[in-house]
Structure 1
């Protein structure tokens, strides 16, 4: 059963990875077709996703940013400018206007954070139809009714436990990909921008992972501390999980099988769009 839903999710993720930031949508759409839009204001990037009314992938775009910290918008103007650029690019590719969008925030970051995200979305001319929590959006995309989603972004580790499609427990800790960047910067005595580029360099992955592995182990410890509240399967998503050995470390520390979809950085953004009703 678990392999089946991951297979379906991975097929969708591969399609999205092929068209994201490209000059063509996955398929042509009519001028009056209902579209669903998701906006993920992440610590390291802002992602805009577009689905049709049946949650099938249409298009997506993203851009790296420094406007969000630990899941909180710290530079409103930069966030708006990046999102506006992504919106305009997407509208040009699709040949039509985007009208609504759903946003998301890390768990337990509060109404103030949700309001700021909504304001960013609406400042671009979109109508914000709602703000979801990020792991719930990931679970939506994965069609997960029972299990644990560990959403590791640039600034936070969000853990959501689901039973019978209901969210029963949420934990959020301020440890994420940015903390990996800080560790790399300290180890090599380089600036954060250089450390971020090094972290994303696939040719240096083995060397980089050896340095940032303690951060991954800390993330696993956050999950492990939840004890019996964790429900299998445990699925890790988010850009910070994009290391080959990530699930190996998590599985060893949790003493249970840990799953990771392909292109885990796009799971939550696609799930967010599914809530744009």
Structure 2
């Protein structure tokens, strides 16, 4: 295994462990549980870790309560998070008290209040709100590079130097644009295009169709990393599940680009790792 790939061994193992506990929760005697709540444009994810910050349970649900990184269905978002919380609590046989959340970078003044209120209204004591790429780096552990979180509505970029965030940005391009292109190319309704896009069996045929959008995202990355010593790029977010997206971005940027085994779960796990017992 190369030195670069070794960097992401922790990330890939943590995601693998989380995928397992989503289907097979670990019921134990942890003194406390921490929950990461990821309100995505296409999918809401709850990741639960124990007192040692090891994954023990989780759940996810595709939903349309967030658009372009902003909560547009407040009641719907609360209900989804509350239902998933209760579902996990029943499986673990305990109450989930502490929760953390994340928002697109640079949107704190715009929407952090809504995200905070959703998490609290769902029954959590909110302990932390951080930007999504920074949360993802809790799992990625990049020292000098860029974390690119491509969600349904936006692409968030965090540049790190010596393990610290030195620059953040957010651009309105993501999975929604993928679905619009698929809808137009295949003459299908938007909702149907969303489902078609998620099926890995369709990715080989979709990649040439979506290549211009991926190249646009790569151009956005190039624009924001210009002038910084970015040695590697790590892709996270549900939109990055597109097979081959990392190859196009690496070719366009000329920078080593890594994609975790399941990029959709990196950010919610990072949010969970940021959760504490101190309410904000």
Q: Tell me whether the two structures share a fold, i.e. TM-score over 0.5.
A: yes
Instruction: Evaluate the alpha carbon distance shift between residue 60 and residue 240 of structure 1 in structure 2; reply closer, same or farther with a 3 A threshold.
Output: same
Shift of 1:213: 1.3
The 8 Å contact of residues 152 and 238 in structure 1, kept in 2 or not, is answered as: yes
Output aligned runs, 1:33-52, within 5 Å: 33-52=31-50
CA distance in 1, matches of 2:93, 2:174: 37
CA distance change for structure 1 residues 180 and 230 in 2, over 3 Å: closer, same or farther? farther
- Which residue number in structure 1 is paired with residue 98 of structure 2? 100
Describe how 1:1-277 pairs up with structure 2 within 5 A. 1-20=3-22, 22=23, 24-25=24-25, 27-30=26-29, 33-226=31-224, 227-277=226-276
Cα pair 1:198 1:208 within 8 Å, conserved: no
> 3-state DSSP class of the match of 1:229?
coil
Measured in 2, the distance between the counterparts of 1:115 and 1:78 equals 16
Measured after TM superposition, the shift of residue 5 of structure 1 is 2.6
Give per-residue Cα distances to partners, 1:145-178, cap 9 Å, x unaligned: 3221011011111010011221101111000111
SS of match in other structure, 2:8? helix
How far has the Cα of 1:240 moved from its partner? 0.6
> What is the Cα deviation at residue 230 of structure 1?
4.9
| Moved beyond 6 Å, runs of 4+ | none
Instruction: State which drifts further: 37-46 or 202-211.
Output: 202-211
Note the C-alpha offset of 1:13.
1.0
Q: 1:161, 1:230 within 8 Å by CA — same for their partners in 2?
A: no
**Contact (CA 8 Å) 2:34, 2:97: kept in 1 or not?**
no
Unmatched 5+ residue regions in structure 2? none
Give CA-to-partner distance per residue, 1:182-237, whole Å, 9 cap, x none.
Answer: 11112222211100011012221111222111111110000111323251121111
**CA separation in 2, counterparts of 1:8 and 1:123?**
33
The alignment's C-alpha RMSD in Å is 1.3
Shift of 1:96: 0.4
Q: Conserved in 1, the CA contact under 8 Å of 2:78 and 2:122?
A: yes
Specify the SS of the correspondent of 2:227.
helix
Shift of 1:144: 2.0
How far residue 9 of structure 1 moved from its aligned partner, in angstroms, is 1.3
Distance 2:109 2:95 in 1: 29
CA distance in 2, matches of 1:223, 1:168: 15
